[in-house]
A and B are shown apart, each in its own frame.
Chain A
Amino acid sequence: MDFELSQDHKVLRDSVRDFVEKEIKPIARRIDEEHMIPDELVAKMGQMGLLGSYLPEEYGGAGMDMLSYAIVVEEVSRACGSSGVLISAHTSLCSGPIYSFGSEAQKRKWLPALNSGQIIGCFLLTEPDAGSDCGAISTSFTRDGDHYVITGSKIFITNGGYRGTGVLFATSDKNLKHKGISAFIVDLTSPGVEILKNEQKLGIRGSYTTAFALDQVRVPAENLLGREGEGFKIAMDTLNGGRIGIASQALGIAQGAFERALAYSKERKQFGAPICDLQAIQFKLADMYARIETSRLITYKAAWLKAAGRSYILESALCKMMASEAATFVTKEALQIHGGYGYICDYEVERMFRDAKITEIYEGTNEVQRVIISKLLLG
């Protein structure tokens, strides 16, 4: 067993880290305050290849493995959780299923623009009455000649505000439950696609969370992803992979907050000595580090299993659950170590504290992760 990153992974990590230090970290606070990731930054991330890390070179990706993808999302999220989730949702929820389930023609048509970042992707599954119970979606599709016609509504769509490419789920008959669901590749500039709003949120404020109304949206029949009725399977498989991305995002947020807390505990003096001399602070640091490091091990293992073509469903649920809980714990303790200053925006840990919470909720709540894990354990 080798727990050391390969030289190629180290080169990748250091390159992304340098990029993030110079291009993202200095503007992370502004991204949060203005609720917007600057278009120039999205373009730069595209030029760096951060938006197509694990997709093959023949479709304009970088051709790296899942571990590289996890490293990219972690390093970016270390400075900015909003930018981290942009990459994660774009890559594993849009390009990912098109690559895994798309026809050769679909891959050639959609992936190059996604991998270069020219178009930003999203995943349209959740509806007002279908969250964790995603088999209950009611957005419907009917066939009309060489088109499908889709009507309904979608909410909480990460990256939706870019109106790029979406992998959208709809049902032919709600009574069929998950068996009636199909997946479509949709150009979100199509007539009938309306953005109702981009939500105001507790955290990851730079990331779009969008509500859509879909009114008789005509989608060419060739945009059906997989076969009719395969949508639920595609959604579940996609989310299994996506959890590695969210675990990496959570890990990055936790790591960023931990580094700030560690540094601050050495600088801040009270009672005539740095507060890191106090055992109360030392124990916090030990607990924070323990959760980050154990989450990282299971996240990297899940990425390794997926790349090796092995079953990784349990590990991806586990890493998402552990890393997100590490993130909320670590950011809370990082804020506490900063004391009153932690509550002030200038110190940035308050942003990380707010950004962390969503990782326990999206891509399957942690309660859903526990259902997945226990089901697999009980067979």
Chain B
Amino acid sequence: MKILVCIKQVPDMESRFKPDSAGVWFSETDLAFRMNEYDEYAVEQAVRLKEQLGGEPELTVLSIGPDRVVEAMKKALAMGCDRGVQVQDPSPHLKDPFQIASIIAAYAKDQQFDLVFTGLQSQDRGSAQVGVTVAELLNFACASTIIKFEYADGIVTVKRELEGGVKGIVKLKTPAVVTCQLGLNVPRYPTLPNIMKAKKKEILVIPVGDLLHEQPLAQTATFYAPAKKGTGVVLEGDVADQAERLIAILKEKTAVLR
């Protein structure tokens, strides 16, 4: 069995974000990066499947971006992936989700993967399109938003999270893509010995130009923080007086009181 896990490196969500000079993405200066949270669930589930199958499957982790993304890949390798593929791209943020999916599909099409794990979405862009588009481009079965995963005899059984707390059970034949949601598992911490072992694992570097042949379908036009709204009216002074003024405002500006 061959398994692919696709991960993205995203800024730490505690960061302060500012638009960059081009005005289509945030400035990456001084940001700390880490693995996209949903992709950690994907890596963990893939590693669990490998363990379930006695270590037989070969687990490849793929990420697109500049050299800093290798750090996220090293974490995935320390969690238990076998090898890495870095699609070297200085500006993945300028690619739309269709292009990102096309890059992954172009890499995966001749590799005979049985299963592809991705996060449900990225924490920074949040399009939730890449995983399902990869499935479409590869003509694989697909289940999104999974919160439980089982595998036996070539059949994948997943529990999906639907609207309003409703759950659905879906069975898929491999080859398949699944996109992973919060609640699927608790990702392991890479241990120090495994971080050391990861240093010896192979990371193949492929220039993005070798894999990308598609034009964007949806390009970001502008990127900005919403304008600050007015600060509202603060009533001060005597309480009885405040109550009278509040009633007057409610009568004048709303339909609550007439």
Interface residues of A (CB under 8 A from B): 7-8, 10-12, 14-15, 18-19, 47-50, 52-53, 57, 62-64, 68, 72
Closest to B35 in A: A14
CB-CB under 8 A from B190, the residues of chain A are 11, 15
CA distance A19 to B189 in the complex (A): 7
Q: Chain A: which residue is nearest B67 at the CB level? A: A7
Name B's A-contacting residues (CB within 8 A).
34, 68, 70-71, 74-75, 78, 189-196, 198-199
Residue contact A47 to B191, C-beta cutoff 8 Å: yes
Distance (whole angstroms) from the CB of A92 to the closest CB of chain B? 16
B61 to chain A, nearest CB (A): 13
B192 touches A49 (CB 8 A): yes
The B contact surface, by secondary structure, is helix
> CA separation between A62 and B193, bound complex, in Å?
4
CB < 8 Å neighbour of B70 from A7, A12, A19, A57: A7
Q: How far is the CA of A50 from the CA of B191 in the complex (A)?
A: 8
Q: Can you list 19 A-B contacts (CB < 8 A)?
A: A7-B68, A7-B74, A8-B74, A12-B195, A14-B75, A15-B75, A15-B78, A15-B190, A15-B191, A47-B191, A48-B191, A48-B192, A52-B192, A62-B191, A62-B195, A62-B196, A63-B193, A64-B196, A68-B192
User: Could you say which residues of chain B place their CB within 8 Å of the CB of A63?
Assistant: 193, 196
* Alpha-carbon distance A63/B193, docked complex (angstroms): 7
Q: Is the interface of A mostly helix, strand, loop or mixed?
A: helix
Question: What's the least CB distance linking B72 to chain A, in Å?
Answer: 9
B192, A50: Cβ atoms closer than 8 Å:
yes
Q: Are A57 and B75 in contact (CB under 8 A)?
A: no
4 cross-chain pairs, A with B, having the tightest CB-CB distances, nearest first:
A49-B192, A62-B192, A7-B71, A15-B190
Closest residue of A by beta carbon distance from B76: A11
User: How far does the Cβ of A175 sit from chain B's closest Cβ, in whole Å?
Assistant: 46
Q: A62-B196, A64-B196 are in contact. Are A11 and B75 (CB under 8 A)?
A: yes
Interchain CA distance A49-B188 in the complex, whole Å = 14
With A57-B196, A62-B195, A63-B196 as known contacts, state yes or no: A11 contacts B74, CB within 8 Å.
Answer: yes
